[in-house]
């Protein structure tokens, strides 16, 4: 059967070269197999036939049996025509209307023959009409491979204009099932089908395209969704197991002086239980013979940096160097200051390397790296330069990794390679990826299913939850009064304006207008204001940040440049202008810029009165909860997995039938079964797994999701 499914689509009866080209270009359907796996996105109940006198002005599609008794072309507007047919049944009459393809449709209409029309009805001048209906002669209608639930396939404007309607795709599907005799090979092992009561593959494919009933459709959907998610999980988990088996890591067996001294004598506060659990997981990983590849998720301010430092101290106890790579200079500087402060009594050599590092300092860094006297190097992309060579890099920590490409990350891997003259085999460093963007569990299982995941899900003690309120522009005077009161108490304020790439000029104008009106409302010498935006030179940005950090200015007016990693404990109020223009995770990240000190902090979301339903949901969610994971789940529901990961990864989860938000339970079930099977038979070589192995090998030949992942 596989070979028949490889047949080019134009060879299917009723397709041909022209339609074949369109199907390829518009829907990515190149072969019979692609058409078979082109699933409907909704279904319409076609069991009921309406009478004309039962029609109502609504959006639902209806089908009516009757006949056409008259056809005419009506001219309207400038050089425009429409085709109008009078359609009758035994209860009344209505009009069928076409605006496009008039010549072709007129030739195909038959007068006074019983037929079935199907489409949406609207009422105009007390007469019902149906625009661009599907029409089928009663004789054809009774013979066709018809199901109670009529499938509706995804389409495009081009296909609709070229006459490839839903009915045409339906006919192609019928032809495909005739030519293949509806016999398709089973892709899941018998024990799995029996245990989960899954219907056979043949039955599932037939009922997804021609469902006999709502119940049969539900069983088909469950079977196909499970299979799709199961094979993705099988791939990801296999990849993880293979890496652990094949890719050796440095075994850090010692937990020695550096780690113990820090833990016993210099910890600034008691670790939370979540931090202790994560440190334990990392210790176990680095102590094995395999390379660690762990994703550390923790909300803003949950204490990821201290976990990173403790991991680096384990590397140091075992005689290895570490590095930490951050996406921006501001963030790299902050990590450098934070780690230096934590490790100040440990006699460790920590240095910072960014684009701004002076040449003389770079020389020292390069020298100390190669002779091993530099223990920890923190930096930006500058760490990836060829000149940067470590004596023995044992741990690489990557912060906010979605901002780095795959190539950049693999460059970091090679930094631990011995000199070409040495014959020793290259052992890659352990990798710890950190993110403050909470990733919903379902997405993490699919996108990072090949990484081990640790989560810090509690905030350090003494942190007060940030209070969030939503205010309309009409409340601005009250908000300004609140700011004055906070400044009088010695606090500092952020006011952030949106930045959307397409309209940089407009956004800069928004920011500058905002800055001017704030300067009028908070005049010198009583108040001092900083400004920060992407068009400024790095040195100017640095100077403005410094003034704000040192408390020389009360208000920082900025674009989202400050979203990641600015740590100013004295800033207690975050005002987000036009908050409706931000995504949920971005609002949550911005809110995390305050609440860093012991004082109560506030986040004020300013919007206009006109809000879409999604915007209202975002504002309500922000006000209701500070939990980043809950926010990420809502964000995933609103935006879908593609948008959530940003454009460079939006194609990652191009699933054919499953939906990782709606089908979360099936995803968890599929992952558990994949784990269980691989634990028992990793190479999939037991007799009962023959089908599994064959399907798995077939799937890995095709470029699919796993090529994109970490």
User: Per-residue pLDDT tens for 650-692?
Assistant: 334 568 898 877 788 898 899 999 999 999 999 999 999 999 9
**484 CB burial (10 A radius; 0-12, 13-18, 19+):** middle
The string of pLDDT tens digits covering residues 448-479 is 777 788 888 887 777 788 999 999 999 999 99
Tell me, what's the pLDDT at 310? Answer: 97
- CA torsion 438-440-443-447 (nearest 10°) is 30
Which residues make beta-bridge pairs with 298?
Answer: 456
Tell me, what's the pLDDT at 197? Answer: 96
SS3 content of the chain, % helix, strand, coil (to 5): 45, 20, 35
Are the CB atoms for 301 and 459 separated by under 8 Å?
yes
Which residues make beta-bridge pairs with 98?
Answer: 83
**248 CB burial (10 A radius; 0-12, 13-18, 19+):** middle
Task: Determine the angle formed by the axes of helices 273-287 and 304-317, rounding to 10 degrees.
Answer: 30
Are the CB atoms for 507 and 498 separated by under 8 Å?
yes
The string of pLDDT tens digits covering residues 537-561 is 878 888 888 899 899 999 999 987 6
What's the number of CA atoms in the CB half-sphere (13 Å) around residue 183?
6
CA dist list (Å): 145 to 155, 206, 212, 562, 694: 21, 11, 10, 60, 32
Which residues make beta-bridge pairs with 322?
Answer: 376, 395
Tell me, what's the pLDDT at 423? Answer: 40
CA dist list (Å): 44 to 57, 121, 449: 18, 15, 36
Q: What is the mean pLDDT of the chain?
A: 86
* Residue 647 reports pLDDT greater than 60: no
User: ω before 525 within 30° of 0 (cis)?
Assistant: yes
Residue positions counted in the chain: 710
* Residue 642 reports pLDDT greater than 60: no
The distance in angstroms from the start CA to the end CA of the chain is 34
Tell me, what's the pLDDT at 708? Answer: 34
The string of pLDDT tens digits covering residues 70-107 is 999 998 878 888 999 999 999 999 999 998 888 888 98
Of 78-92, 243-257, 574-588, give the lowest mean pLDDT range. 243-257
Mean pLDDT of 519-524: 93
Are the CB atoms for 101 and 132 separated by under 8 Å?
no
* Residue 622 reports pLDDT greater than 50: yes
Hey, how many other C-beta atoms are within 10 angstroms of the C-beta on 53?
Answer: 10
Are the CB atoms for 696 and 234 separated by under 8 Å?
yes
CA 352 – CA 41 distance, rounded (Å): 52
Query: Which H helix or E strand runs over 155?
Result: none
* Residue 32 reports pLDDT greater than 90: yes
Are the CB atoms for 85 and 71 separated by under 8 Å?
yes
Two tokens, residue 253: 């067996």
In the DSSP assignment, the letter for residue 374 is -
Hey, how many other C-beta atoms are within 10 angstroms of the C-beta on 640?
Answer: 15
CA 397 – CA 376 distance, rounded (Å): 11
**429 CB burial (10 A radius; 0-12, 13-18, 19+):** buried
Mean pLDDT of 228-251: 86
Q: How confident is the model at residue 271 (pLDDT cuts 50, 70, 90)?
A: very high
Q: How confident is the model at residue 505 (pLDDT cuts 50, 70, 90)?
A: low
* Residue 706 reports pLDDT greater than 70: no
Q: Which one, of 319, 287, 332, lies nearest residue 391 by Cα?
A: 319
Tell me, what's the pLDDT at 466? Answer: 92
Whose tokens are 């293949």? That residue is 180
CA dist list (Å): 610 to 52, 349, 473, 579: 41, 55, 11, 12
- Which SS3 state, helix, strand or coil, does residue 85 take? strand
The string of pLDDT tens digits covering residues 378-415 is 999 999 998 999 999 999 999 876 656 656 767 777 77
Residue 457's contacts (CB-CB under 8 Å, 6 or more residues apart) are 274, 298, 299, 302, 629
Residue 641's contacts (CB-CB under 8 Å, 6 or more residues apart) are 443, 446, 447, 652, 653, 660, 661
Q: How confident is the model at residue 417 (pLDDT cuts 50, 70, 90)?
A: low
**193 CB burial (10 A radius; 0-12, 13-18, 19+):** middle
Tell me, what's the pLDDT at 684? Answer: 94
Task: Determine the angle formed by the axes of helices 538-549 and 329-342, rounding to 10 degrees.
Answer: 40
Tell me, what's the pLDDT at 460? Answer: 75
Tell me, what's the pLDDT at 1? Answer: 53
- CA torsion 575-580-582-583 (nearest 10°) is 120
Two tokens, residue 515: 């800055």
* Residue 58 reports pLDDT greater than 70: no
CA dist list (Å): 127 to 87, 93, 96, 120, 617: 11, 8, 11, 14, 40
Two tokens, residue 125: 């001048």
* Residue 615 reports pLDDT greater than 50: yes
Q: How confident is the model at residue 617 (pLDDT cuts 50, 70, 90)?
A: very high
Are the CB atoms for 668 and 651 separated by under 8 Å?
no
Of 302-311, 500-509, 605-614, 641-650, give the lowest mean pLDDT range. 641-650
pTM of the model: 0.66
Which residues make beta-bridge pairs with 116?
Answer: 65, 136
Are the CB atoms for 530 and 544 separated by under 8 Å?
yes
Are the CB atoms for 221 and 234 separated by under 8 Å?
no
What does the DSSP assignment read for 560-618? GGGTTT---TTEEEEEETTGGGS-HHHHHHHHTTS--SSS--EEEEEE-S---HHHHHH
**44 CB burial (10 A radius; 0-12, 13-18, 19+):** middle
Whose tokens are 């979605």? That residue is 402
Tell me, what's the pLDDT at 126? Answer: 82
* Residue 524 reports pLDDT greater than 60: yes
Two tokens, residue 349: 């050599």
């Amino acid at each position: 059967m596989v070979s028949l499914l490889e047949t080019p689509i134009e060879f299917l009866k009723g397709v041909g070269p022209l339609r074949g080209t369109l199907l390829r270009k518009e829907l990515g359907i190149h072969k019979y197999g692609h058409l078979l796996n082109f699933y409907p996105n909704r279904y319409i109940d076609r069991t009921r036939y309406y009478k004309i006198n039962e029609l109502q002005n609504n959006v639902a599609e209806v089908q009516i049996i009757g006949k056409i008794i008259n056809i005419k072309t009506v001219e309207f507007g400038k050089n425009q025509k429409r085709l109008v047919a009078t359609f009758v049944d035994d209860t009344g009459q209505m009009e069928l209307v076409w605006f496009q393809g008039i010549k072709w449709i007129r030739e195909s209409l038959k007068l006074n023959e019983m037929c079935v029309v199907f489409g949406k009805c609207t009422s105009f001048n007390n007469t019902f009409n149906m625009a661009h209906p599907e029409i089928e002669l009663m004789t054809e209608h009774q013979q066709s491979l018809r199901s109670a639930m009529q499938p509706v396939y995804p389409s495009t404007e081009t296909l609709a204009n070229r006459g490839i309607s839903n009915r045409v795709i339906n006919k192609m599907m019928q032809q495909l099932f005739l030519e293949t005799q509806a016999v398709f090979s089973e892709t899941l092992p018998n024990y799995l089908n029996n245990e989960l009561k899954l219907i056979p593959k043949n039955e599932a494919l037939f009922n997804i395209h021609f469902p006999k009933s709502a119940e049969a459709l539900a069983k088909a959907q469950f079977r196909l969704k499970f299979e799709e998610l199961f094979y993705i999980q099988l791939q990801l988990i296999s990849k993880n197991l293979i890496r652990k088996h094949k890719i050796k890591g440095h075994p850090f067996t010692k937990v020695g002086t550096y780690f113990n001294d820090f833990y016993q004598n210099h910890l600034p506060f008691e670790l939370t239980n979540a931090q202790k659990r994560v440190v334990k997981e990392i210790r176990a990983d680095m102590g094995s013979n395999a390379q660690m590849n762990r994703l550390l998720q923790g909300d803003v301010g949950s204490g990821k940096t201290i976990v990173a430092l403790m991991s680096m101290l384990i590397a140091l106890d075992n005689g290895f160097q570490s590095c930490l790579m951050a996406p921006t200079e501001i963030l790299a500087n902050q990590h450098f200051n934070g780690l230096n402060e934590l490790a100040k009594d440990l006699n460790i050599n920590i240095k910072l390397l960014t684009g701004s590092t002076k040449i003389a300092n770079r020389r020292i860094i390069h020298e100390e790296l190669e002779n091993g006297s530099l223990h920890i190097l923190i930096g930006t992309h500058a760490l990836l330069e060829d000149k940067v060579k470590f004596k023995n890099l044992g741990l690489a920590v990557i912060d906010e990794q979605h901002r780095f490409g795959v190539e950049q990350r693999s460059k970091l891997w090679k930094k631990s390679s011995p000199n070409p003259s040495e014959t020793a085999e290259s052992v890659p460093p352990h990798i710890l990826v950190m993110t403050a963007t909470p990733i919903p569990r379902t997405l993490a299982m699919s996108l990072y299913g090949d990484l081990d995941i640790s989560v810090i899900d509690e905030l350090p003690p003494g942190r007060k939850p940030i209070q969030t309120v939503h205010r309309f522009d009409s409340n601005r005077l009250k908000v300004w009064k609140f700011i004055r009161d906070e400044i009088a108490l010695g606090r500092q304020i952020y006011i952030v304006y949106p930045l959307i790439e397409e309209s940089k000029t407009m956004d800069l104008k928004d920011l500058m207008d905002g800055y001017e009106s704030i300067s009028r409302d908070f005049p010198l010498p009583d108040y001092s204001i900083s400004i920060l935006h992407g068009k400024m030179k790095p040195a100017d940005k640095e100077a403005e940040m410094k003034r704000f950090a040192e408390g020389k200015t009360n208000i920082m007016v900025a674009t989202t440049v400050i979203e990641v990693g600015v740590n100013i404990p004295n800033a207690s109020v975050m005002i987000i202008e036009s908050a409706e223009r931000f995504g949920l995770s971005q609002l949550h990240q911005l809110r995390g810029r305050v609440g860093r000190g012991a004082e109560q902090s506030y986040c004020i979301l300013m919007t206009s009165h006109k809000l879409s339903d999604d915007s209202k949901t975002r504002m309500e969610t922000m006000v209701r909860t500070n939990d980043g994971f809950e926010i990420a789940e809502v964000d995933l529901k609103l935006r879908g997995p593609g948008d959530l990961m940003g454009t460079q990864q939006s194609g990652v989860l191009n699933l054919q039938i499953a939906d990782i938000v709606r089908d979360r339970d099936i995803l968890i079930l599929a992952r558990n079964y994949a784990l269980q099977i691989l634990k028992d038979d990793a190479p999939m070589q037991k007799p009962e797994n023959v089908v599994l192995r064959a399907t798995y090998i077939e799937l890995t030949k095709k470029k699919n999701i796993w090529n994109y992942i970490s």
